[in-house]
A and B are shown apart, each in its own frame.
Chain A
Amino acid sequence: MSTAPGPFEQVYDKHAVAIYRFIYARVGNHPDAEDLTAGVFVRAVEQLDTGREPGQVAAWLYRVAQNAIADHWRAFYRLPLVGADHVAPGWEPVDEGGRAPAEPDDRAGIRVQALLRRLPDHYRRVLELRFLERMSVAETAHSMGISSGNARVLQYRALRRAALLGDPTDG
């Protein structure tokens, strides 16, 4: 019981939380983040050579995580699923040899901030209230002096604009 951690456990201890946060920042909810994280490490057990140098191990894990995220979102797109490699434009799995992002945790957040700044005021406001302040639709509507129905329409339009402006594809 008191033996030193084996190679997989060492890799896991070093990267699990960071990988989880990386995934969570992109799927936005814990149940999905748990499933995808587990999938990454199940695959690691099957395929990862823990003898690789540490940088390569990290790069491998992030690459697998990014592919897992791409697969996750693929289920949201109405695509003919002709083959496992068919994904929406901009969602190609990362190539072999891809590198781990330097600051993977922060990138999604920074991109969101930059994106919000580019939106018209009332679009930015509704998204800030709903997602950053975590207000309900009723509270958001009250705060903006509009009806709840209008707040829903506004958040819908704002999200659509934001999605068109910033394709959140990870490089």
Chain B
Amino acid sequence: MVDDERRMTDAANRFDGYLEALLGDSRPSPEAVDDNDEAGMARMAAELAASGRPASDASPDPAFIEQLRLRMRQADAGVTAIRRPPPVRDQPQPDGTRRWRLSRRQLLQAGLGAATGVAVGVIGASLRSEAQRRAGMGEDDQPLVAGEGFWTQVARLDEVPPGSALRFSTAAFDGFVVNDGGTVRALSSVCTHMGCTLHFRPDWQDLRCPCHDASFDLAGRLANGRVTWRAQGAYPGDARAYPIELPDLVRPRVKVEDEAVWVWTAQA
């Protein structure tokens, strides 16, 4: 009896952590949900949270809408280009990508690129090369290090035990802190194919793209491409290999200090 009560209290406290994230409008993690009952509760909580907000708060961020519109414009400018997958690269290069929230200046630059009819595949690619140029892309571990940058604390070390991943956002960067069997890394959460946001799958120890099912390992390399299939026979859970090779995820520099994980990010 006492055990039941304790269990209930523990579950209620844990689930409240999930609700705090939801109500604080950050991204609540499926990891905080323990069973299918709680999954149903999470869905119910999402609807309650949405219905409790005034209509103005339920509207999209104008910057997000504008950014996505540019992608549509790009598609209109060259539908064939956007349909063509990026070229296969034998030696994937670390790459700089950005998520939706871009500065006005970047939006303008992207818009200009579209207007002049530059034949880039997707808008992510044009921004990538732009970010690359400005950041002066360097060595493996310092893809985002420009002249200006700073260390940001993104997690406590005890929040990322081996085999886990934690989402973080800084002004300029969205990513995961991952603990790959004791090695802590930071990886971009942006798929290098079309810029969709990856999610962590603990059972597979990978970062998975919801758009086209690319999987990246915890070192940021494509894990379910044809090369891997040839080497390993298959990728767990997948019916077939991911058809094209993709560049590695961006890997900003990381340090562990004072029991905290710090990530070096470029100035926004």
- A residues sitting closer than 8 Å to B (CB atoms) are 1, 5-9, 11-13, 16-17, 20-21, 24-35, 37-39, 41-43, 45-46, 68, 71-73, 75-78, 81, 83-84, 88, 108-109, 111-113, 127, 130-134, 137, 149, 152-153, 155-157, 159-160, 162-164, 166-168
With A132-B52, A162-B44 known as contacts, the answer to whether A76 contacts B76 (CB < 8 A) is no
> Quick check: is B146 within 8 A (CB to CB) of the other chain?
no
| Interface size counted on chain B using CB atoms at 8 A | 65
Given A30-B61, A42-B196, residue A109 in contact with residue B210 (CB < 8 A)? no
Residues of A near B73 (CB, < 8 A) are: 5-6, 8-9
Is B100 a contact partner of A38 (Cβ separation < 8 A)?
Answer: yes
Nearest to A13 among chain B residues (CB) is: B69
Contacts of B83 in A (CB 8 A): 46
Q: Chain A interface secondary structure, helix, strand, loop or mixed?
A: helix
With beta carbons under 8 angstroms apart, the residue of A30, A42, A162 that contacts B71 is: A42
B window 224-252: CB within 8 A of A: 237, 239
Please name the residue on chain B nearest to A108 by beta carbon: B47
Q: Report B126 CB to chain A, min CB distance, Å.
A: 15
Residues of B at the A interface (CB closer than 8 Å) are: 8-9, 11-13, 15-16, 19, 22-23, 25-28, 30, 33, 35-52, 58-61, 64-65, 68-69, 71-73, 75-77, 79, 82-83, 100, 111, 115, 194-197, 199, 203, 210-211, 213, 237, 239
